[in-house]
Chain A
Amino acid sequence: MPPRAPLNLRVNGHPAAVPCADERILLDLLREEMNLTGTKRGCDLGTCGCCTVLVDGRPTLSCLTLARLVEGRSVTTIEGVTPPGGLNPVQRAFVEHGATQCGFCTPGFVLTAVALLRAHPTPNREEVVRAISGNLCRCTGYTKIIEAVLAASREA
């Protein structure tokens, strides 16, 4: 089999060329190939949202995305929205409002919230609920997650 050309994409703002089999899933590429382990594997079936990343700014389930489909596109993981030595306003709000308990779903929620607030800087409660409804959390009952996103929107 002739070797495939490497996959070209931008990850967290940096251009990357990585070897990638056709059947490689984006989640595996990020976690196994690029060591970006902030993206979590919760179900492999697109049901939990723990693997959410941003593809060209839109929340995307990396466990259902063939890596080849993001050729030439821009992928942002939780590592990409975390400023060096600190936290972004959404992350700060999650910590202060107790929106993270076990933390496993948290990177997915943070990315979903970041994307929401970029598109709608001042969402109401219902819009926040709708935006996060693709992410499951078993610890918080979502209450403090919703509070944190609203607080971050007020701060921004």
Chain B
Amino acid sequence: MATGAPAPMRLLGGRIPYVEGPLKVSGRAEYTDDIKRPGMLIGRILRSPWAHARIKEVDVSEAREMPGVYAVLTGSEYPIPFGVLPITHDETALAVEKTRYVGDMVAAVAATDERTAERALAAIRVRVDPLPEHLDPESGTRTVVEPIHSRGLNGSNIQKEVLQHFGDVEAAFRAAAHTVHVHGNFAGVTHAFTEPLVTIAEATPDGRLTVWSATQVPHYLHRTLSEVLQLPMHRIRVIKPEVGGGFGGKSDPLPHEVVCAALSIKTGRPVKMLLDREDVFFTNHGRHPTQNDFRLAADAEGRLLAYDIDAVIDGGAWSSFGTVTTYYNGVLAMGPYRVPNFRYRGRRVYTNKPPSGAMRAHGGTNIRYSVEVALDELAEQVGRDPFDLREANALPANSTTVNEFRITSTSFVKCLKTARERSGWDRKFRQLPFGRGVGLGCGFYISGSNSPIHFTPKMPQCTVHLKADMDGGIAVHCMQADIGQGSNTLMAAIVAEVLGVDLERVHVARVDSDVSPVDIGSYSSRVTFMMGNATRRAAEALRDQLLTAAHELTGYPREQLKVAHERFEVVHRPEVGVTFLEALHKAMERSGALQSTGAYNSPPMGGRHKGARAGTAPAYSFAAYVAEVDVDVDTGQYRVEKVWAAFDCGRPLNRLAVEGQVEGSIHMGLGQFMGEAMTYRGPRLLNPSLLDYKIPMPQQMPEVEVLLVGEDDPEGPFGAKEAGEGPLIATLPAVGNALYDAVGVRFLDLPVTPEKVVRGLERRRREARPWKGN
């Protein structure tokens, strides 16, 4: 892998419009729902109105006989459990013995059209015995009557408990000059991607099954289909068309994907299953509702001595990514500061609600809010500026955290300095009039999980194939999933950069498991780092073949040849050279079309304790954000006026895409802070629509100044690190701390609605705690 200072680059580092942009803006990009197959049936799902019930009978006899109905499916036909993590397979395609939440899938039909399918669903009779509902995660930590799953810890509903202790937390608290305790409460939020979940499956008489699906992890879907349907993987072909957003919500293999395939196998016809928006909300797998108790200890100058964390996480009905979530809610508190002593207890608890799973900045968002608010409080106690306090505690480059995370590159201090200067912090903090304020929030995030979920660690996490043929085009094959973040563009640009060719020569082929080598998908903010390195290696291997051909054509030794624009030329005599096509066609004389391969696997890392791999990553991103808010102190309405977002993604390879990730992350973080919440009455989700679950409108979006200050990461492709998830995390505490600066109230119950602001202001007045003269 090339390290050190790379030569100036032609494409990378600039602003590269998406290669598929023209198709998207013209409506020509093909999403799964745009695909029609001959004889295609429509699949629909019957969902449970019961939160927790034992199924006595699912009578489909009437539905099965209805004209236009081709198949009815019930849970007993495909009882093999699955789930994204191999250690927690507890989902089934359809409910088998019990329904576990309102919206759980009980039966499905395939029919000629939607209306017939709906009529058939209405004719299915389900008889159940209701069971006690478990809705509160806290009480689910104790032994309960009829736990949701038999695998709960000691007869409770605890799906996963994590206990970690590094150093001596008790001693650190005894020695502390300052301690801070915050209790954070976070409502569940959902991804709200615009493209609904949709799958098409087509079982064919040759014994194969083809599945098109809106998925961000085609490979895990591939594995899951094989396991549940008991078909070897090589007889299944998974195709990922264009995907309309994911944010983690399309990363689990989802039950409707399995059901759709099962219906196609049963009918022998193609089946499309398009979930309506309400269905999408019930499928959820969004960010976990969470309560955390965060305590820190510091010395007289505000240097951190210890963290002590207790988190209770509402998992909903299934495990999903939950074991990872449980670890992350502790270990992702570790950066970007040096914390010498650390204790964590985390419990993820099953409840009879839609399952929680992975959402952008998975596992880090909620705990980092509590950490950053506590640091703001500590700065005030100690009497230091929040920036100075953080800088004094910053993790240095090439260091190891107490739980053995390997920190290589960090430009965190540069993030702090830049955000401070650009935002005019020193003129504003505690100096703006009552109702206006600035706040600082910081973060870090993994640049790809070091732990691939399904492999032995010896197999690469990403493989890329290139093919160059007579037409002069270069095809790129890889199962990485572009879901809008721009990974296809980056892959094409890396190939074009290394080979010196125009971007238009490079064609990123659609993800198709028959031809795309495995990449484990778009999650854990891994794609730029891992796919980028694999692509670079593949392109360099192709370049080697072309340079050999250029040597044969020019007679100059390879060491004296260099890549130029669409050319290979002699370093000291640039007028001597061959075109890309001449070199390509020469190289093809040996054995036809050129091929090359590149792979990436992260190096070994992490400690030996239980759960040591959770949170380990080949690199970490860092962030320091300042938000400025304006609060209407009468109504509690507030506006985030501006966010200065200093971010370390190493070297940004496509500034246009990175800015888009930062701006979009801020939008999503603001949504969670200001108003988004999955709201329940008892077990019933009250707001399963984009009308009642409101994401921020353009009027609510602040001005954003994106400040990309990272320096080259030693192992990242061309020095790059992630920019897809980390940019979200710092948003929430920056706004929370800005509200405190504005009105002197700490808000620890998210979302912070205007009503909560008013109540906070009233409380402060009652307690007669004046703030900025009010």
Binding site for B on A (CB under 8 A): 36-45, 47-48, 50, 77-79, 82, 87, 90-91, 94-98, 100-107, 110, 129, 132-133, 136-146
Contact = CB atoms under 8 A, between A and B. Distances in A.
A114 B148 CA distance: 52
A94 B25 contact: yes
11 contacts: A38-B28, A43-B689, A44-B277, A47-B690, A48-B690, A87-B22, A95-B18, A100-B24, A102-B244, A104-B194, A141-B704
Contacts of B484: 101-104, 139
Contact of A102 (B23, B30, B243, B657): B243
Given A87-B26, A133-B698, A138-B668, A144 B663 contact: yes
Contact of A41 (B15, B27, B33, B656): B33
A1 B175 CA distance: 87
A47 B688 CA distance: 12
Nearest to A36: B27
Contact of A98 (B23, B31, B657, B695): B657
Contact of B18 (A87, A98, A138): A98
Contacts of B194: 40, 42, 48, 50, 102, 104-105, 136-138
B21 interface: yes
A140 B660 contact: yes
Nearest to A77: B27
Contacts of B246: 102
B277 A132 contact: no
A40 B15 CA distance: 28
Contact of B25 (A47, A100, A102): A100
B362 interface: no
Contacts of B507: none
A43 B277 contact: yes
A95 B489 CA distance: 12
B164 to A, nearest CB: 34
A37 B657 contact: no
B357 interface: no
Contacts of B244: 40, 42, 102-105
A91 B25 contact: yes
Contacts of A107: 25-27
Contacts of B663: 140-141, 143-144
Contacts of A44: 276-277
Task: Give the dominant DSSP class at B's interface.
Answer: loop
Contact of A45 (B31, B486, B689): B689
B192 interface: yes
B352 interface: no
A145 B701 CA distance: 12
Contacts of A142: 667, 698, 701
Nearest to B27: A38
Interface in B634-662: 656-657, 659-660
Candidate in A39, A102, A142 with the most chain B CB atoms within 10 angstroms = A102
B691 interface: yes
A104 B195 contact: yes
Candidate in A101, A133, A145 with the most chain B CB atoms within 10 angstroms = A101
B26 A91 contact: yes
Given A102-B244, A129-B699, A144-B659, A138 B193 contact: yes
Contact of B247 (A78, A97, A138): A138
B183 to A, nearest CB: 30
A37 B22 contact: no
Nearest to A35: B36
B383 interface: no
Contacts of B660: 98, 101, 139-140, 144
Candidate in B245, B274, B276, B486 with the most chain A CB atoms within 10 angstroms = B245
A36 B28 CA distance: 10
Contacts of A87: 22, 25-26
Contact of B664 (A39, A133, A138): A138
Given A78-B26, A102-B483, A103-B242, A45 B193 contact: no
A123 B245 CA distance: 29
A142 B695 CA distance: 12
B27 to A, nearest CB: 2
A96 B505 CA distance: 19
Nearest to B214: A104
